[in-house]
Chains A and B, each alone.
Chain A
Amino acid sequence: MKQIKVWDFATRLFHWLLVTLILAAWYTIENRMIEQHELIGHALLGLIIFRICWGFIGSTTARFTHFLTSPLSALSYLKASLTLNAPHSSGHNPAGGWMVIMMLLIIGFQLLSGMYANDDLGFSGALSDSITKDMSDTFTQLHAINFNILVALIWLHLVAVFFYLLVKNENLVRAMFSGKKPVNQINPQDQLNFKPLLQAMVCLLASVGLGFWLMV
């Protein structure tokens, strides 16, 4: 079946870099590699800044205006999904759009709390000197608690991805690698425009630079 491009390279790169860096962040903290954990945190910060920017200036399917709907629409979509009557979306579906927002908020808070955190062993986050030690300790605890929320969100995300794969026979994982979906799995009314890769790379470099600038 004919394949149609739905995801630009930048969005796909963002997605898989996010997966890799979150796994790396988990691995480093579990193995007491705090310096590496901090580096990964700042890389993630750059990545999140990029995604927010790309949500405003990026390709059609990456833009917030394309996938953000009212919460009621998202709930209706979820209900329709359960009865397998939900319409196809070219990019993020209404429920998926809210998942993106939740992910950005939760990961954003994880990064912010990490920058205010300390480990009592000589490490303190990039912004922790600007607050009291007690507050820094509180952020350290919130950093740990928020991780559980992030894991729950990732679980929900995976449940949805496998629902599409196993029940609806839509392979979203492959689409996120190739950037293409079969023509019968997209919304034919969508007019998709893609921004140049150079624009995305400039935006990504500037964002990552900003993320690491906070570290020094």
Chain B
Amino acid sequence: MNQVTPKQQLKAKRYLYFVLALSILWIVMFIQSQAEWVQNIKESIGLVPILQAKENSFYNQRIDPIFEKYCVSCHDGNKDKGHLRLDSYRQLTFSGRSEADLTVAENNLLVERMKLPADDRLAMPPYGRERHSEAELELIKLWLAKGGSGELTEDDFPEAPAKAKVIKFADINWQHIEQLREPLQPQVSALQNQFPSSVSYLARTSHLLSVNLSHSAMPITDQQLTAFQPVAELIAELNLNRSGITDASAQALIEMTELQSLNISQTQATAQLLEQVMNLPNLKTVFADSKIVDQVLLEKFTQQGIRLHVVERG
């Protein structure tokens, strides 16, 4: 082993300091290249406000849905290809590995890549993936032309084409409908057998019944109508046109608390029956013969918010 001279020791010291400085510089540069870390640090010590787009911003309303549709499957928190995330305005500003500012209009790398022909090696979305329309790309360009802001709202972009209306249907809770139907299902089935083609549910999504007894070969009587008493609370529509019912059915009808539509035209029923059903809480429409309806009764129905259709007998 050679004797160590002071000069060598000084050299070693200098070298190690140099390496330490270089390593620190390298670490600092590495941290600086992590835009999200830098932003988090600045936010946590209060140097800058939290970076995010306003809820009603043009970005959130019009631009984010485009990225969501075409980009986010590869550029989100789970799979940040090229270290780029497009799942929020905040992440977009961190720009990914390119470190290019993606909120400026000029030479915007994102737009440049989206403009490339679909089969280009560098095209985004890549070849084979669902691709944005020209109109969507124009919308992004328009947003960038006004500064790529997370603050500006749709009012600031009057030239932007109107947003396509999206019709959304409420989710149907089939289990809940089944639960509502289940308690009286046997009684409903029995009535469907007893009165074929006369009893059905209002819709697949409803537990309420529509009962049409007007086309029975044998006109239904007051007595027969009592057969519906077990399901009275489910009947929403009842057509008794040309049936044999009289005012004696009033009690059976009053029990139909969900009844919305009633047709008693061309029956033996009188104004007395109409007076009694008028207070049903859900009743909206009634069809009755003109001979039993006078002006006073009409006004009473109007006051109750029920449309009374007067049927002239032919």
Contact = CB atoms under 8 A, between A and B. Distances in A.
Interface in A27-68: 32
A82 interface: yes
B4 A120 contact: no
B12 A167 contact: yes
A163 interface: yes
A84 B78 contact: no
Contact of A166 (B4, B15, B78, B121): B15
B87 to A, nearest CB: 16
B11 A85 contact: no
A88 interface: yes
B69 interface: no
B165 to A, nearest CB: 32
Contacts of B15: 162-163, 166-167
Residue of B2, B78, B122 most packed against chain A (CB within 10 A): B2
B122 A155 contact: no
A102 interface: no
Interface residues of B, number: 21
B1 to A, nearest CB: 6
B81 interface: yes
Given A82-B16, A84-B9, A87-B1, A120 B26 contact: no
Nearest to B5: A84
A120 B79 contact: yes
Contacts of B128: 121-122
Contacts of A168: 8
B23 interface: yes
Contact of B4 (A84, A88, A121, A159): A84
B131 to A, nearest CB: 14
5 contacts: A82-B12, A84-B4, A155-B23, A163-B12, A166-B11
Which 9 A-B pairs give the minimum distances between C-beta atoms?
A84-B4, A167-B12, A121-B126, A159-B19, A167-B15, A167-B11, A120-B74, A84-B8, A166-B15
Interface of B: 1-2, 4, 8-9, 11-12, 15-16, 19, 23, 26, 74, 78-79, 81, 121-122, 126-128
